[in-house]
Amino acid sequence: MAETTTPAGLPKGFRSAELGWPELHRIPHPPYRLPLLGDLIGASRRTPLQDSLKYARRLGPIFRRNAFGKEFVFTWGASLVADLADETRFAKHVGLGVANLRPVAGDGLFTAYNHEPNWQLAHDVLAPGFHREAMAGYHTMMLAVAERLTDHWDRAAAAGRTVDVPGDMTKLTLETIARTGFGHDFGSFERSRPHPFVTAMVGTLSYAQRLNNVPAPLAPLLLRRAGRRNAADIARLHRIVDEVVRARRADGGGDGDLLDRMLDTAHPETGERLSSENVRRQVITFLVAGHETTSGALSFALYYLSRHPDVAARARAEVDRVWGGTAAPDYAQVARLRHVRRVLDESLRLWPTAPAFAREAARDTVLAGEHPMRRGAWTLVLTPMLHRDPEVWGADAERFDPDRFAAQAVRARPPHTFKPFGTGARACIGRQFALHEATLVLGLLLRRYELSPDPGYRLRVTERLTLMPEGLRLRPQRRTAPAVPRARRTAGGTVSGSGRPVRGTGE
């Protein structure tokens, strides 16, 4: 089972809930428990998150499950989550599948334990890379990558073919973070199969989830073959990232992107720099987290737009009005797509692609004045259920309605009820990057295409720590509106915002 954080005075390793919740007996659990197996009878190994959502609906805003004799506490009620957001009493907990990623990402921003110093060092060094000025600099490259997507979809539209939405969104977001952050070209749209980085990444994410489904002592035996594949996937990820870093060092630097910051920037107060090993871990963290969740968010948003033509028509009209006939919208024009952004937020409400985050007590405390927790006790927040709490979102919380994110509605809601990017000091550092990229891409696709769904498709959600609609295909049809001029290309291909060509990979 996953390792937990180990501040001074706490035992190392996984902490079962009975060690930290003195009144655990008051928290409901599923019926028909069995020795050793606990609550696993009838549970799905492929969709553990969706299993937990079913139990959440039956058992209420806080409940527990037992697996192989270990107790887990889940929370989703809005008042409980608001209390867990108190940074004076609670902190991020690295556990379950996240800790299982430490062999590949180590003390990267997402997987670092709170007591590890490299987290704060990397955060302080890299945070300026997501300020407004830096974001505006990434915009041109985002447009260039999006043009490669629309070239691909134009060919599909001309041939009357459907497109693989999750696959294409994964290509798009991988290229976007690779080019804007690291000056690197994976050539995703020129490949008939996923880039080896994507294959290895999916393998490590899937393996991390599988580890949660077997008793820790038996994992080496039951997952022997999978463990060997995972080791090979990790080695491949390290090799690809090391190649990217070597290329940058050979070039003598880039344009001040995230990789330059990792390699050359010292902490503004201490003068410390990231070690070579930590640079590798941060690059992997950004390449994985920087594209996996955004591709899911775009895929769910396109699913809902295809199923709600009235919402799509309203969003498309907004794009036409705000962007007009401009060939390439500028950075400020993207923020003016208020309804498109609401579509994205509502999609993230129903299916937040990072569907849970864990919090631990920084000291002995009482959760929401009701449930005592000892220091180090932790709970997993089920974000999709928080986003469906009827006390906040109403009796129709399952219904897709972007107007839930109109300004007046947002102001009327209590804080800490919408958490697709986590919470507190350890919330996603790239949130604004992801939201700008996704809003831009949705705007570009709405302006260019009508999107027709397969009438027989029913939403299925695949889980690999993150969430993605499974098997989603749409038929893009070019709009009959006057064609919009294309973005600039050079004779040598697409260039970055600074005019500097991006590097490819031999993998």
Query: Helix, strand, coil shares of the chain as percentages rounded to 5?
Result: 50, 10, 35
Is residue 286 among the annotated active site residues? no
CA 33, distance to chain mean position in Å, is 33
Is residue 421 among the annotated active site residues? yes
Cα separation, 240 vs 505, whole angstroms: 8
Is residue 357 among the annotated active site residues? no
Catalytic residue among 72, 90, 286, 421: 421
In b/e form, how buried is each residue of 12-51, taking b as 16+ CB within 10 angstroms?
Answer: eebbbbbebbeebeebebbeeeeeeebbbeebeeebbbeb
Say how many C-beta atoms besides its own lie within 10 A of residue 423's C-beta: 21
Cα separation, 217 vs 430, whole angstroms: 36
Return phi, psi of residue 303, to 5°: -60, -50
DSSP string, 34-90: BTTTBT-TT--SS-HHHHHHHHHHHH-SEEEEEETTEEEEEE--HHHHHHHT-TTTE
Cα separation, 42 vs 365, whole angstroms: 35
Q: Are strands 70-75 and 378-382 parallel, antiparallel or unpaired?
A: parallel
Say how many C-beta atoms besides its own lie within 10 A of residue 286's C-beta: 26
In b/e form, how buried is each residue of 96-116, taking b as 16+ CB within 10 angstroms?
Answer: bbbbbbbebbbbbbbbbbbeb
Catalytic residue among 405, 428, 466, 494: 428
Catalytic residue among 111, 140, 176, 293: 293
Residues that are catalytic:
293, 421, 428
